[in-house]
Chain A
Amino acid sequence: MNLDLAQSGDLLQALLPELVLTGSGLVLLLVIAWRHRTAADLRLAAWVTLAGLAAAGAAAWWLWWHTARAIGSPGMIAVDDFRFVADWLLLGTAGLTVLVSFDYLERERLLAPEYYALLLFATLGMLLMVGGDDLMVVFLGLELMSVAVYVLAGINRHSPAAAEAALKYFLLGAFASGFLLYGIALVYGATAATNLSQIGAQVRTLGLGGSPMLLIGLGLLLVGFGFKVAAVPFHMWAPDVYDGSPTPVTGYMATAVKAAAFAALLRVLAESFSDVGAWQQIVWWLAVATMVVGNLIALAQRTVKRMLAYSSIAHAGYLLVAVAARSSLGSAAFVFYLVAYSLTTLAAFALLAAKGRDGERDVLIDDLAGLATRRPWHALALAVCMLSLLGFPGTAGFIGKWYILVAATTARQLPLAAVLVLTSVVSAGYYLPVIMAMYMQPEPSEQAHAGMRLGRLGGVVVAVSVAGLLVLGVRPNRLLDLARTSGDGLRASPAAPAATAVSTPTPTGR
C-alpha cells in the first residue's frame, strides 16, 4: 500500500494509529466529565483506555499488514516498519501500565481518572516522536509526552516526594527541551530543512560534515535526547524522579518514555546524520560513562526502587552501545533489547508496587528476605526479572545483550564491547543480592510479607511479562526477524527520498 502524504486521504491513513489514540483520549475525557467520583468510575476509565490502546495497536497492525510505505516528497510522518514495531512496544507498555494501575490507584486513594487520559496523551506523544519524520513533529511529540508525564509524576499530591519529583522533572525537562529546540534551530540554519530525510540529503549534497553550525546543532540535539534517556552526565534528575513518582508511573517512565526517546534519537541519527561521523564519538563516550557510572552507583543503593532507577540508567548505556554500532545489526539489537528491557522492568516495578503497601520507597533489598517461602510465585517472577536484567542465559535479556555485543564487535567497537561485559559483571553485585535475600535468608517475621498483594490484573501483567521473557530467551527468532526488518527500513529510507528531495522544490512554502 503506497501512501502519498501530500494527499489528505492518504495522510489520514498514515496517521491512523495516532488519530485513533487522539479520538479515544477525547472520548475518555468526555466519559470522565460525567463519571469521576467512585472507584467503579476509575475502572471504567481504565477499560476505555485499554480499548483505545488496543484500537491504536490494531491500526498500526493494519498499516503493517498492508506494508504501507510513503511515496512522493517526504512528509511529516514516516511510514515504515520501525515506526510500527516501536508503536506496538509503546502501546503494549502503556497497556501493561494501565493494568498495574488498576489496583494501585484504588489502594493509594488516587481517585483521579484523568490519570488515564494523561497516560493516553503521553502515549500519543510517544507515537508521534517515533513516527515523526520531521524535527517539528518529533519535538512536539516529545513535549506532549513530557507535559503529560510531568503531571503523572506528581499526581499523588499527598506525597511531598512526588511533588519534588514532578517539579524536578519539569524544570530539568524544560531545560532539556530548550537544548533540543536550539539544536533544531541550528540544524535548520545549516540545512534550511526540518524534514529528517531532507536534512540528510542536504548534508550529503552540500558536504556539511564539518560545518560548525550543523555540528553544534547536532551536539545540542544529543544533549536534549541525553536528558530524556537519562544518559550520564545528564542523568542527575533520574534517581530522584523515579524514586518519588508513583511506582506504576516510574515503570512507565523507565520503559516507555526511555524507549520513545531512544527510538526518536536512533531515527534522527540514522536518517539525518548518517554522513556526519562526529556523533559516533560522542555517543561512544556517553555509552561508556553511562554504563560505568550507572552500574557503580547502583551497587551502593539499598532500597529496591533506587536500585532499579540506577539500573535503568545502566541499561540506557547498553542501548547507547547499540546506537554507537551504527549498523542495521545495531538497530536490530536495539529494538530487541528495548522489548526485553521494557518487559523486565515493567514486571519488576509491578512486583515492587505490590510489595510496598505502605510506601514502596522504603522497601529495602533486605525487606525481601524469605519471600520465596511465603510467596513462591512472586519470588520466582522477581528472580527471573533480575536474571534477565543481568543478562543470564535463558532469558530475553541475555539474547538482547548478546546481539548488542555482536553488533559492537562487528562494528569494531571492541572497547565498548569490553566495557559492556565488565559492567554487566559488576551489575551482578546488585541484582543477585535481591535473589539471595528472597531465597537464602530466613523470613524476619510471620507477617513480613502478609501485605503483599498483586491483584488479578497485576498478576496477569507479571505472568505475561515473565512468560514473554522466558519464551524470548529460548525462541527469539520471530522478534529478531521483526527487529531486523524494522532496522533495515530505518537505514534504507534516506537513500530513496534523497534523490527526489534535491530535484523537486521543497514544499515548505519558502
Chain B
Amino acid sequence: MTRYILRRLISAIPVLFGISVIVFAIMALIPGDPATAILGSFATPENVARLNEDLGLDKPLVQQYVIWLGNLLQGDLGRSFNLNRPVLDEVLERFNATLVLAGTSFVLCSILGIVAGVVSAANQYGTADRAITFVVLLGISIPSFFLGMMMILTFAVNLRMFPASGMWPIFGDRDLWALLRHLTLPALALSVVATGVIARLSRSAMLEVLRQDFIRTARAKGVPERGVIWRHALRAAMVSIIPVLGIQAGFVLSGAVYIEVVFQWPGIGRMLVDAILRRDILLVQGGVIFVAACYVLFNIVVDVAQSLLDPRIKT
C-alpha cells in the first residue's frame, strides 16, 4: 500500500508540472506589458522597472518560466501589490476558510447524494424514486448563487434561523455552535448541484449492479432486501461512485467561488474574484496554482480510497 501511494505521488509530478505550465501560459496571454497589467495603469515607472526585474519579465519566456518555477518550488508565489503581503500568506489564510466550507459541502453531498441514489434505485419508478428524481433535476438546474440568495432570503431574513453572511473562525474563539450556524446555509447551497450529480450516478450505478449475478446469489442465500441493497449492491456500486466523488470534489472546490461571494465567506474564491477585478495578477496566479495542486493531491486520496475498496486493483 505504501508503495502504491508513493507511486501515485510520483505520477502526480508530471501533472503538477503540466499545471504550472498551463497557469504560466495563461498568464503569458495577458495582452500588453505584463508589468503594467500587474501594477495597473497608474503604476510609477520605478515600480514597473522593479517588477520587471523581480519577475525577469524582460527575459525570454522560457527563462521567465524557469525563474518563476524556481520561486514557486521555494514557496515564493510573489507579492500582492494590492494587499502588500506575500501571496502565499494570503492564499493559505483564505484557503483555510474555503477548506472548511468546501470540505463540509463535500461530505454533505457525498452522503446525501449516495443515499438519495440508493433509495431511488431501490424503489425504481416508485414514489420515492420519482420524488428524488424531480428534486435532483431541480438541484442540478438551479444556479448555486441564485439558490444561495434565495436561502438567505428565506432562512436568514424571513425565518431568522441562520446568519445571512460571514464566517466564524475555526481557530480562536472555538465556538463550534457559531461556526455551524454560519456554515449551514453556504455549505448546503454549495452541495446541492454535486448532490444531484452524485445521486444520479449512484442511482444508475446501483441499477447496473442490482442486475448482477452476485445479487441473485445474495438473495438466494436469504439475505434480507435491506442487506442486499446496502451491503451487497452499494459496496459494488461504490467502485464506480468513488471516481465521480473525486470529480465532484473539484466542482465543490471551485464552485465555492459563487457561494463565497454570496455569503461573504472569506475564502479563496472570493479572493480570486476580487483579485481579478483589481487585476492583482500574481495573487490570481498563486491562488489558482495552489488550489489546482491541492485538487491533484486530493485525487490521489481518491485513488487510494478506491484501491482500498476494490481488492482487485493491484496495489
Are A and B part of the same complex? no
Chain B residues in the interface with A (C-beta under 8 A)? none
Measuring CB to CB, which residues of chain A are less than 8 angstroms from any residue of chain B?
Answer: none
